[in-house]
Amino acid sequence: GNSVTQMEGPVTLSEEAFLTINCTYTATGYPSLFWYVQYPGEGLQLLLKATKADDKGSNKGFEATYRKETTSFHLEKGSVQVSDSAVYFCALSANTGFQKLVFGTGTRLLVSP
């Protein structure tokens, strides 16, 4: 079946450090890939997405590239801020009719001043 694997957290960084959160997936066909962010006490918000191989999604300084050869969609940001502290979820949609998302377990990011 379809699945998403994310790196264990928490990831603890100092402000302005470089961020990478790893995400790999298993899916049949050609899924769409997503990163969602959850700030404390809130629901999830879509951060970025990519719908086909080699696409790069980007938003708010974050970016991720759809790598079919390595089945990966790693999230990166060149310089994190304290306000980026949140839980980040990688997800896929199998694009086989009804849209259902399969989520990873989430990675908590803590950024200190």
DSSP 8-class letter at 98: S
**Cα angle 93, 30, 63; round to 5:** 70
Q: Could you say whether residue 88 binds other proteins (CB under 8 A)?
A: no
Q: Could you say whether residue 85 binds other proteins (CB under 8 A)?
A: no
> Pattern 26-65, binding to other proteins, x per CB under 8 A?
------x-x-x----xxxxxx--x-x--------------
**Element spanning 22, H or E:** none
Count of residues interacting with other proteins (CB under 8 A): 21
The C-alpha atoms of residue 18 and residue 73 are separated, in whole angstroms, by: 17
Question: C-beta of 78: minimal distance to other proteins in Å?
Answer: 25
The C-alpha atoms of residue 103 and residue 18 are separated, in whole angstroms, by: 24
The C-alpha atoms of residue 25 and residue 11 are separated, in whole angstroms, by: 20
Q: Which is nearer to other proteins, 14 or 45 (CB)?
A: 45
Q: Which is nearer to other proteins, 17 or 55 (CB)?
A: 55
The site for other proteins (CB under 8 A) is made up of 32, 34, 36, 41-46, 49, 51, 89, 93, 98-101, 103-106
